[in-house]
Amino acid sequence: MPPLIRESGSAELAPSAPLPRVTRREPPKWRAVLSLPNGRLGFGLAATLLALALLAPLLAPADPFALTAAPLLPPSFAHLMGTDGIGRDLFSAVLFGARTSLLVAGGVTLVAFCCGAVIGMAAGFRGGLLDDALMRVTDLFQVLPRFFLVVVVIALFGPGLDRVVLTLGLTSWPVLARVMRGEVLAMRDLDFVVAARATGASGARIIWRQLLPNTLASAAVLLGLLFGQVLLLDASLGFLGLGDPNVLSWGMLAGQAQGFLRVAWWLALFPGLAIALAVLGVNLLADAWAAVLGGQASDRVEAGGRRRPARAM
Amino acid sequence: MSFLLVHVAPGDPLIALAGEHGDPAYYAEMRQRFGLDQSLPTQLATYAGRLAQGDLGFSYVQGRSAATVIMERVPATLLLTGTALLLAIFAALPLAALAGRRPHGARDVGISALALGFYSAPVFWIGQMAILGIALKLDLVPVQGMTAAGSDARGLARTLDIARHLALPALVLASQEVAVLIRLTRSGVLDELARDHVRTARAKGVGEFAVLVRHALPRALLPVVTVIGARVGHLAAGAAVVEIVFGWPGTGRLMFSSLQTRDTPVLLGLFLVVALFVVLANLVTDLMYAAIDPRVRLR
């Protein structure tokens, strides 16, 4: 008798394959996401952002560091977002800033996902002492004030994107780990895992081939929200002048605008607007994705794997 | 408010904590934080060595104990964050109840969109826009500082002066918390309205308003209590940025100037104080949760 496969009609096994592959649910979920209005809007915003960031060198009318015109020109057709205090084109700067923001947020999300997945799944799968120990460590990391931690790190080691990504990535995983652990706990004794174990699969193989694919959907909601949070955190750091001074970022532009607030409103308006739209895009996408997953899965995600709601972190 | 200020400032137990028992705690924080970061072990060693000599207890720039320097600024930040949190709670609950009452109705969509907007916008941008729109255009409230320049008003006049300066930064900071609280409370109210006890209340003929306020909202608030504790770190980070936008003389501005003068002891101290506040807030909210929810038992 073939082992039962969770949520999949195709339980047939190729004779040569020792383990069943978990197949994806039938109607692709991204189509359901796009059928929701907020999903469409979020996808549009996120896709636009990605396109602008990738095509920045082609789209930018000027070198963002070049002095192209008189300082503090208000927005016009020649300079869509005006010029800054020494005559650089703000539109070009905002375009190139998108690259930095995406790079940082993407890097942090990746690092946090790796940490969270390994810790959460190990804790959920092994249980016992390891679970207890890992969860205490998770508690500890969850109360770390990330923003102030990055400030300290930069103060000690100087500004740089690498340390921002590492520090935020290595401290942003606790909520993710809790959710992954919860998912694994819920799945650990289901038939398809028991079957895999019975065929002699190692723990690592079961985690990699059976459990990980089935947790990705709910992890994606959290990763989306985390991406948005990191965009905001990175913007705040840039605003305080803690970013890499040689790399354009939206937060840095907004920070420079602070000194010109009374004379040049456009300097403050556009970089901040870009951040808000980008974060709005990923949040809408994450919300739509959670709505599509629906019911149990999204409840677990929202509860962060326990009673403390996770979204607010 | 000034009454609070006076009573929080001197003899706070945190001074003793940060000053006398600070070093082992610093050690623990450092080990845990940088033990993962293998690329910088040498700096860590030097740094830990300096720590051992008690070097970090003093502000490089001001030549005073870092704890004293920080504690001078804590009341202003507490005033700002406390006001913002209260504003947020009082604004969010009715809005969330309204939104949750008829899901996907016009009110719900409007309120949810507003919450998502504030949730997505960077706090410094909201601050800058508020300055541009409200303070400069309409000239309603002052833009910078905590008191009028050169003012030596006392008593009530001073309180009013501070309140006028406080209004805008507190509102801006509150906007972030409102967004989170609305999102959370709304989904809580939605869940509760679908439950049996609400159906029973309706069947007894309890009015819709009373159902909402007496039966759905209180239970929906349980998770909100804990989330406020979990938000303290975020609130402090938001406050730091808001303080810089509005020139509010709290710990955020201290952090900013310490960054520029590379006053590491003060920065580390600030981190420790915030971390301590976060832990305390989590503890308090966990205890509160256990106190108001009979289902939760502390082990």
Nearest-by-CA chain B residue for A276: B121
**Burial zone of A52 (CB within 10 Å; 0-12 exposed, 13-18 middle, 19+ buried):** buried
Nearest CA in chain A to B255: A151
Average pLDDT over residues B267-291: 82
Asked if the C-beta of B43 comes within 8 angstroms of chain A's C-beta atoms, the answer is: yes
Instruction: Note whether B273 and B18 are within 8 A (CB).
Output: yes
Distance CA A97, CA A256 (A): 13
Which residue of chain B comes nearest to A146, CA vs CA? Answer: B233
Tens digit of each residue's pLDDT (9 = 90 or more) over B16-38: 333 333 444 554 444 444 333 33
Q: Provide the β-strand partners of residue B58.
A: B65
Secondary structure class of A89 (helix, strand, coil):
strand
pLDDT on residue A108: 94
List pLDDT tens digits, range B87-104: 988 888 888 888 877 777
A27 touches chain B (CB under 8 A): no
Q: What is the SS3 assignment for B231? A: coil
Give the closest of A143, A147, A157 to B43, CB-based.
A157
Angle between the B123-130 and A265-293 helix axes, to the nearest 10 degrees?
Answer: 140
For chain B, say whether A239 makes contact (Cβ under 8 Å). Answer: yes
Which residues of chain A does B234 touch, with a Cβ-Cβ cutoff of 8 Å? 147, 312-313
Which of chain B's residues have a Cβ under 8 Å away from the Cβ of A243? none
**Residues in A touching B240 (Cβ below 8 Å):** 147-148, 240
**Nearest residue, CB atoms, B117 vs list A149, A254, A280:** A280
The answer to whether the Cβ–Cβ distance between A242 and B180 falls below 8 Å is no
Contact A276/B at CB under 8 A: yes
Contact partners, residue B19, CB within 8 Å, separation at least 6: B57, B65, B67
User: SS3 breakdown of chain A: % helix, strand, coil, rounded to 5?
Assistant: 70, 0, 30
Q: Which residue has the tokens 């705690």?
A: B25
Question: Would you call B78 an interface residue with chain A, using a CB distance cutoff of 8 Å?
Answer: no
B103 touches A: beta carbon within 8 Å: no
Is the CB of residue B268 less than 8 Å away from at least one CB of chain A? yes
Range of lowest pLDDT (A151-160, B1-10, B215-224): B1-10
Rounded-to-integer distance, Cα A203 and Cα A110, Å: 23
Residue A80, burial from CB neighbour count under 10 angstroms (0-12, 13-18, 19+): middle
ipTM (interface predicted TM): 0.78
Its pTM stands at: 0.78
Q: Quote the CA–CA distance of A215 and A188 in Å, as a whole number.
A: 12
CB-neighbour burial class of residue B299 (10 A; exposed 0-12, middle 13-18, buried 19+): exposed
A147 interaction partners in chain B (CB closer than 8 Å)? 233-234, 236-237, 240
- List A residues 164-193 in contact with B (Cβ-Cβ < 8 A): 166-167, 170
Instruction: Spell out which residues of chain A touch residue B220, defining contact as CB-CB under 8 Å.
Output: none
Write the residue in B124, B223, B278 that is nearest to A239 by C-beta. Answer: B124
Please state the separation of Cα B96 from the chain's center in Å: 20
Distance CA B201, CA B214 (A): 10
As to burial, measured by CB atoms within 10 angstroms (0-12 exposed, 13-18 middle, 19+ buried), residue B280 is middle
Q: Going along chain A, which residue ranges are E strands?
A: none
Per-residue pLDDT of chain A (313 residues; tens, 9 = 90+): 444 444 444 444 444 545 555 555 556 777 778 888 888 888 988 888 888 888 878 777 777 777 776 676 777 776 777 777 676 788 888 888 888 889 999 999 999 999 999 999 989 888 888 888 898 888 888 888 888 888 888 887 878 888 889 999 999 999 899 988 988 888 888 888 888 888 877 878 888 888 888 888 888 889 999 999 999 998 999 888 887 878 888 888 888 888 777 777 888 888 889 999 999 999 999 888 888 886 444 444 444 433 333 333 3
